[in-house]
Amino acid sequence: MSPERAVTFDALGLYGVAAVLAAAFAAQFMLNELPCPLCLLQRIMFAALAIGPMLNIRFGPRPSHYALSLLAALIGAMVSTRQVLLHIMPGDAGYRSALLGYHYYTWALLGFIVAIAMIAIVLLFDRQFEKQESVPPAMTTFAHTAVWLVIGLTALNVISTLLECGFGACADNPVVYELLKR
């Protein structure tokens, strides 16, 4: 895989992260389902997952950039697994609504597992890491848009979390936006 193709692959990954963040945001507002603290941690880890591809797009592909994303995916998988295990008992209805029979935290776990597998596969292609003329690949409009889309959605999630939790700890089962109820 050439460095240019790697950048395109990274941009596609960023669009995937943006889709996950947008879907979580849509569920929050359209279904009026405020995210729990573990859900917020999963959103943070999806945003952190985007750091590696952003660095690859800006500075060119490097194994260390993929390592950052791999670490975020592993931590995200652990947080998602924790939430799945909290609701695994028979008779437990789970937290909030389900999509296609699975709750959002289960989908998040599957998303993190897919990210781990994709990063592992991409790391097999060594050609993308060959020395270049120390000039990063040109950032295409496609990649540039992906970067700013993820940054924008992450910023909106930060604002939403601040409104939900205020300046204290988030409620275990939030029902109101703390900063808006005053």
Q: Which pLDDT band, with edges at 50, 70 and 90, does 133 fall under?
A: low
Q: Each residue of 126-142: b (16+ CB within 10 Å) or e?
A: eebbeeeeeebbeeeee
Q: Which pLDDT band, with edges at 50, 70 and 90, does 18 fall under?
A: very high
Q: Which helix (H) or strand (E) holds 77?
A: helix 63-86
Percent of the chain's residues with pLDDT above 70: 86
Section 108-133 average pLDDT: 83
HEC states along the chain?
Answer: CCHHHHHHHHHHHHHHHHHHHHHHHHHHHHCCCCCCHHHHHHHHHHHHHCHHHHHHHHHCCCHHHHHHHHHHHHHHHHHHHHHHHHCCCCCCCCCCCEECCEEHHHHHHHHHHHHHHHHHHHHCCHHHHCCCCCCCCCCCHHHHHHHHHHHHHHHHHHHHHHHHHCCCCCCCCCCCCHHHCC
Query: Does the structure show a pLDDT above 90 at 125?
Result: no
pLDDT one-digit tens code per residue, 61-109 = 888 999 999 999 999 999 999 988 887 877 766 666 766 767 788 889 9
Section 152-162 average pLDDT: 93
Section 106-113 average pLDDT: 92
CA-CA distance, 6 to 19, in Å (whole number)? 20
Section 131-160 average pLDDT: 82
Residues 6+ apart with CB under 8 A from 139: 7, 57, 58, 147
pTM score, two decimals? 0.85
Q: What is the pLDDT of residue 127?
A: 66
